[in-house]
Chain A
Amino acid sequence: MKLSAIQTSHGLNSKETIPASPQVALDVSHLSWSIDGKTILTDINFALPTGQMLGLIGPNGAGKSSLLRCLYRFVRPTQGKITLFDQDIEYLSSKAFACSVAVVQQDTPHYFDMTTEQLVSMGLTPHKGMFDTNSSKDGERIAKALEKVGLSHKMHQQYERLSGGEKQRALIARAIVQQPQLLILDEPTNHLDVRYQIQILELVRSLGISVIASIHDLNLASALCDSLLLIHNGEVSAMGTPTEVLTEARIGDVFGVCAQVSVHPQHKKPLISYFYGYYDATHNADERGEGE
């Protein structure tokens, strides 16, 4: 609440009126993070225009989750500056920050005694004061979010009893209830079958807010993201539209696989087909030196 007031005073618009000229939702400059003398992220620079969806891609251990953790302030970068709608995130209060940024993480703790509805209503936490109770409007918002992710019929069920995909969708419903202007998702398509992978990302896109999501499936990232940020060994390897980022050479360099990039028949963005047979290659011919 407070934050949106500050923003309007700065001349920025909330999500109801998306400005004609692209504003910057998130700007990261010269971000580095090291822990115990080990460098995890080095000099990361990028900007996310308001209302766009940015896909974060890169091999395991490249630093995707670490970068996201810096963005939602769970870890403090050693160097660099992150601004959210022109405000340095370091100076925002926990509450104000959570009112504009929602996060869906990879996994939740096991011991967790809550119904799906209670989990989703947790999204109200930053918006509520000490003794505020949930209003009927909040109830509607929760019901609507559950409907959006297709979990209305499971609202009274224990969260622990949901399947992996349903849990993921419940967490996204919680993020919707949080009404953020920026949504950060750490591998939201894990545990999901292909239909829900597409459905979840399309749902997130339909919210009309700025999104950063780390995604493993390159074809999914290509199809559904406005732009991609490719990270390799803690550094930005490429940034741009899917067509600019996803080239055969780069996929070979960064992921160590051979791939052919063609044009997808429907959305005209890159379609990646992988080649197989690395085991035989590394054990017999040893052509590429290092396999997976």
Chain B
Amino acid sequence: MVTLLTRQQFMLLALAILTLMTPIAATSFGAANISFMDVIHVFTNKVANITQASGMTERIVMELRLPRILLAFVAGAGLSLAGSVLQTVTRNPLADPYLFGISSGASFGAVVMLTLFTSSGFFDNVAMAAHSGIFSGSGALSGLLWFSLPLGAFIGASLSVLIVLALSGLGLNSQVERMLLSGVATSFMFGALTSLLLYFASPQATASVLFWSLGSFAKASWSLLILPTLVVGVSLLIILGMKRQIMALQAGDETAHTLGVNVPKLRLSMLLLCSLITAVLVATCGGIGFVGLMIPHTVRMLFPGRQPILLTALVGGLFMVWIDVLARCLLGNQELPVGIITAAIGSLFFLLILRRRRVVG
């Protein structure tokens, strides 16, 4: 018992140190050669407000890397949070933020936008623009695309959620089952529509949809950061406020009901909240899988017997920041899509924990 507690405390301590280190350390990685000390220098300058003379280093740190790291953190935290809450309220360990067809709905929306631009001759080197993102500094063309693609994704995601909600209804009876099944059906439906559109689309459009669907934080900027941060922050507050009710749902609908929880209403509002988080994140950074499913489980395994909502968000955020660092650094002159690395590293890590737990338990 004592060793378990101290082990947990040790891990919490390590996590705290990592949290403090991450903004500085993660900022020093990237294509341009910026050292750890440079970053500290820039930060202290900013805080102390010493110089306005903006060097190249300062601009890269403040305009490119810092917002990118923050966006990665917000995305990781939001997806883990949504996954954790959905797993609890649906009592389904396999639930993730994309459970209700959100990602396929978003992909569909994105593809519709892309093909619209292609067919109207608007679209020439979109795939290239998608790869280089904001760094290309290209003008109105990619700007319009960058605006329309998230918008399309958001509309698509909302559409899929509305369909699921319409089908699952407010009744208590088998609400979860209907939600899950209609989610799967919606997912397949949008998947088919997306494939159909892609089948007739140009190869470039297909490539950029693929790239988009694997996720990237390349286009992060301070203005882009506002909406996701706001949505994830407010959702986190709401979820923390409803923590007792959400935990009560873990014990079953009937028990939660006897503890004064309005079960169908709570479940629906949590679903809506998680969908909002996911839709906003999908629209800003593309469909980053795996984090929402596995981070909550990982945290639960590392910290058994706790109900760690804040911890889940924190671990998810940190995980995503470092995954993004890898995405920037693994290949010398090119960025890897985040989704590939989250899935590859995350699943390995998860299997490792699973195995260790089995040996220990």
**Are A112 and B250 in contact (CB-based, < 8 A)?**
yes
Count A-B pairs with CB separation below 8 Å: 75
A198-241 residues at the B interface, CB under 8 angstroms: none
**Are B257 and A119 in contact (CB-based, < 8 A)?**
no
Is A128 close to B, CB under 8 A?
A: yes
Is A165 close to B, CB under 8 A?
A: no
**Are A94 and B261 in contact (CB-based, < 8 A)?**
yes
Select one of B248, B254, B262, B304 contacting A122, CB under 8 A.
Answer: B248
Which residues from chain A contact B244 at a C-beta distance below 8 Å? 122, 124-125, 128
**Are A131 and B241 in contact (CB-based, < 8 A)?**
yes
**Are B251 and A74 in contact (CB-based, < 8 A)?**
no
Is B167 close to A, CB under 8 A?
A: no
B292-306 residues at the A interface, CB under 8 angstroms: 300, 304-305
> In angstroms, how far is the closest chain B Cβ from the Cβ of A97?
7
> In angstroms, how far is the closest chain A Cβ from the Cβ of B69?
29
Is B307 close to A, CB under 8 A?
A: yes
**Are B259 and A109 in contact (CB-based, < 8 A)?**
no
Per-position binary interface string of chain B over residues 261-275, scored 1 when its CB falls under 8 Å from any chain A CB and 0 otherwise:
110000000000000
In whole angstroms, how far apart are the Cα atoms of A158 and B248 in the complex? 16
Closest A residue to B300 by CB, please name it: A113
Stretch at the interface among A20-28, A77-85, A98-106, A257-265: A98-106
In whole angstroms, how far apart are the Cα atoms of A156 and B1 in the complex? 9
In whole angstroms, how far apart are the Cα atoms of A82 and B157 in the complex? 44
> In angstroms, how far is the closest chain B Cβ from the Cβ of A209?
15
Is A130 close to B, CB under 8 A?
A: yes
**Are B93 and A103 in contact (CB-based, < 8 A)?**
no
Select one of B93, B242, B252, B261 contacting A130, CB under 8 A.
Answer: B242
Closest A residue to B258 by CB, please name it: A103
Is B260 close to A, CB under 8 A?
A: yes
A148-201 residues at the B interface, CB under 8 angstroms: 156, 158, 178
Is A126 close to B, CB under 8 A?
A: yes
Is B240 close to A, CB under 8 A?
A: yes
| Residues A109 and B260 in contact in the complex (CB < 8 Å), given A124-B244, A156-B1 | no
Is B91 close to A, CB under 8 A?
A: yes
Select one of B242, B251, B262 contacting A94, CB under 8 A.
Answer: B262
Closest A residue to B262 by CB, please name it: A94
**Are B260 and A97 in contact (CB-based, < 8 A)?**
yes
Per-position binary interface string of chain A over residues 117-141, scored 1 when its CB falls under 8 Å from any chain B CB and 0 otherwise:
0110011111010110000000000
Which residues from chain B contact A118 at a C-beta distance below 8 Å? 247, 305, 307
Interface core residue of B248, B250, B262 (most chain A CB under 10 Å)? B250
| Residues A115 and B251 in contact in the complex (CB < 8 Å), given A97-B260, A105-B258, A126-B260 | no
Which residues from chain A contact B158 at a C-beta distance below 8 Å? none
| Residues A72 and B258 in contact in the complex (CB < 8 Å), given A118-B305, A130-B242 | yes
In whole angstroms, how far apart are the Cα atoms of A184 and B88 in the complex? 26
Closest A residue to B266 by CB, please name it: A94
Q: Which residues of A are at the interface with B, using a C-beta cutoff of 8 A? A: 72-74, 94-99, 101-103, 105, 108-109, 111-115, 118-119, 122-126, 128, 130-131, 156, 158, 178
Query: Other than the known A94-B261, A98-B258, A109-B91, what 5 A-B pairs have Cβ atoms closer than 8 Å?
Result: A95-B260, A103-B258, A108-B255, A125-B244, A131-B240
User: Could you jot down 5 A-B contacts, CB within 8 Å?
Assistant: A105-B255, A108-B252, A122-B244, A122-B247, A125-B259
Q: Which 7 A-B pairs have the closest CB atoms?
A: A98-B260, A126-B260, A130-B241, A103-B258, A125-B259, A95-B260, A109-B252
